[in-house]
Every structure is written in structure tokens, then in C-alpha cells.
């Protein structure tokens, strides 16, 4: 089923939440929401190609997308960085001690939003291109 537009809307929503959280200093949640935005954007672009890949591994999603859209290959390292925010941003037992939120910084949060924005822009372009190709 073609759902690329819906997936992009949800990706935009996660990115908006990340930006809102950035303003309140909730670095771990910014990183997680950025990862989610990138995940949904990649899934939207894959969906526009008629592919549906399950899972949360951004590197895997970007690599698969790169097979069809070579320009995405340049974002595989960005995907790897965002992948690191999927679990430890939410679970305190990912670290020896302290809450999950204590282990992330403002610099990481800012970078995560920028990385998600890069993936989002590239995926939106793919979806738009596929829509015009019919």
C-alpha cells in the first residue's frame, strides 16, 4: 500500500517534537525523536519505491534505499549516528548508572536534529520525484 505521504507527515511530526524538546533542554528525547523522524522518512522513500522494510535500523534502511537512489549512500554514516539514539535515549539500563537523560548533551541534540533534517530533505525529494514519475 502506498503510504509515503502519511509516513512523511509522521516524520515531520517527530522532527517538530525534536525541535520543541531542543528548546526545553531535553537532549535525550531530542535525539530519540530525531532518530524516529529519520526512520519514518526513510520508510516513506522506500514506500514510494514500492518497498516496505520492517525494523528500526536506519543504516539498513538507508543502505537499501541507496540501492535504488544512489544519492542516499552519502547519508549512510549519518544514519549510523542516529541509530545510536534508538535505545539508550530511552532506557536507563543502557548505562551503568544514572538516568538515560543524563548521558546526552546539547551538542548531540543539535547534531541529531541536523542529521534528521538532512535525511528528511533527501527522502522528501525522492517521494516527490516518484510522485511526478507516476
Q: Which residue has the cell 549512500?
A: 73
Q: What is the pLDDT of residues 76-92, one digit of tens each?
A: 999 999 999 999 999 88
Q: What is the pLDDT of residues 22-58, one digit of tens each?
A: 999 999 999 999 999 999 999 999 999 999 999 999 9
What is the set of domains in the chain, with CATH numbers? 4-133 (1.20.120.330)
Q: In whole angstroms, what is the distance from residue 125 CA to residue 130 CA?
A: 9
- Grid coordinates representing 98 are 544514572
Determine if residue 25 is left, alpha or beta; phi over 0 gives left, psi from -120 to 50 gives alpha, anything else beta: left
CB 123 within 8 A of CB 44: yes
Output the pTM of the full model.
0.95
Amino acid at each position: 500500500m502506498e503510504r509515503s505521504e502519511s509516513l512523511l507527515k509522521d516524520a515531520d511530526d517527530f522532527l517538530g517534537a525534536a525541535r520543541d524538546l531542543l528548546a526545553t533542554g531535553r537532549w535525550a528525547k531530542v535525539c530519540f525523536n530525531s532518530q524516529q523522524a529519520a526512520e519514518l522518512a526513510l520508510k516513506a522513500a522506500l514506500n514510494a519505491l514500492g518497498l516496505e522494510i520492517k525494523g528500526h535500523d536506519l543504516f539498513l534502511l538507508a543502505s537499501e534505499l541507496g540501492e535504488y537512489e544512489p544519492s542516499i549512500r552519502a547519508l549512510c554514516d549519518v544514519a549510523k549516528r542516529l541509530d545510536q539514539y534508538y535505545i539508550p535515549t530511552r532506557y536507563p539500563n543502557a548505562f551503568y548508572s544514572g538516568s538515560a537523560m543524563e548521558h546526552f548533551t546539547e551538542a548531540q541534540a543539535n547534531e541529531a536534529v541536523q542529521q534528521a533534517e538532512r535525511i528528511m530533505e533527501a527522502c522528501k525529494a525522492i517521494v516527490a520525484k516518484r510522485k511526478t514519475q507516476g
